[in-house]
Amino acid sequence: MSKHNNLPRRQFLKLALSASAGAATLAAGGSVYSALIEPQWLSIERVQVPLARLPRELDGLTIAQLSDLHHGPYIGDEEIRVAVEAVNRLQPDMIVLTGDYVTREVDRIGDCARVLGGLQSRRGVWAVLGNHDHWTDAATITRALAANSIQVLINEAAPIDHNGRRLWLAGVDDVWQQSCDLDRAMRGIAPEEVTVLLAHEPDFADEAARYPIDLQLSGHSHGGQVRLPFYGALILPHLGRKYPMGLAQAGGLRVYTNRGLGVVSPPVRFNCRPEVTLLTLRSSG
């Protein structure tokens, strides 16, 4: 190499220092974004869900979903209130909550449930519990939600009447804690009737697909919280690895996994915004 291609030592050091400073600035900016900006940047996901067995009278029925609020040191009343207002603006036919309301601080469920009590829909607000709810105090959380007109489905189902036809909404207790009993939840539902299942952990879909269930709605995974382009989630939880986010297929069952509203430690999100989901059921039969 000729000496004309060699940088003087002083110039080389200057360029190296500039590059290091630029990298440090980008890293600092990325840290601020992932810790302070994206976790607050709520996304409204509108999803069309075709179901082969859905009667035409139920075509267009809308379900708003919130999940994994994790009311605690990182997510408070204001963030949940913003999500509640976003859901109400969507004017859904019904609202479902798929678990993890608090994180090991049971005294927070009172405030969380009161804010969630502002949810409004024509066919009610329905919920199931998640693993963090059981690790905190499942009974207290259930009572707090019920006191704010939110019905918690614990291995049971309820009929939802809409436009003269019926859809069943079933809910299982937490899978991770081995508290779920799908046989009990499906008891009394005729096999030919359309059923939507609430189950906190999305990978339960492989078990649910053995039953005459049309759609499972889940949370739990947070989408991984940090997702790298061309790679995906860095870390996913137990029972949240196969169907970590969005709409997927498990045999003959459709499963939708909500990325959640809150976070767990480390309290960051990158390429994985918190979400409110509006699912519109479509008859494809």
Question: Are 147 and 231 found together in one domain?
Answer: yes
Is the CB of residue 221 less than 8 Å from the CB of residue 257?
yes
Give the mean pLDDT of the chain. 92
Show the beta-strand stretches assigned E in the chain.
43-51, 62-66, 94-98, 125-128, 151-152, 156-162, 165-171, 195-198, 215-218, 227-228, 232-233, 246-250, 253-257, 275-283
CA distance 114 to 7: 66
The tokens describing 186, both together, are 């499906």
Question: Are 242 and 127 found together in one domain?
Answer: yes
What is the domain-level CATH number for residue 47?
Answer: 3.60.21.10
Q: What is the CA radius of gyration of the chain?
A: 22
- Which residues constitute the domain of residue 3? 1-40
Question: Are 199 and 114 found together in one domain?
Answer: yes
Q: Of 77, 152, 157, 153, give the one whose Cα is nearest residue 118.
A: 77
Question: Are 209 and 249 found together in one domain?
Answer: yes
Question: Are 30 and 134 found together in one domain?
Answer: no
Question: What are 148-184's pLDDT values in tens digits?
Answer: 999 999 999 999 999 999 999 999 999 999 999 999 9
Distance of CA 94 to the CA centre of its chain: 16
78 sits in which H/E element? helix 77-90
Phi, psi of 169 (to 5 degrees): -110, 115
Residue type, 47: V
Is the CB of residue 128 less than 8 Å from the CB of residue 153?
yes
Question: What are 32-80's pLDDT values in tens digits?
Answer: 898 889 999 999 999 999 999 999 999 999 999 999 999 999 999 999 9
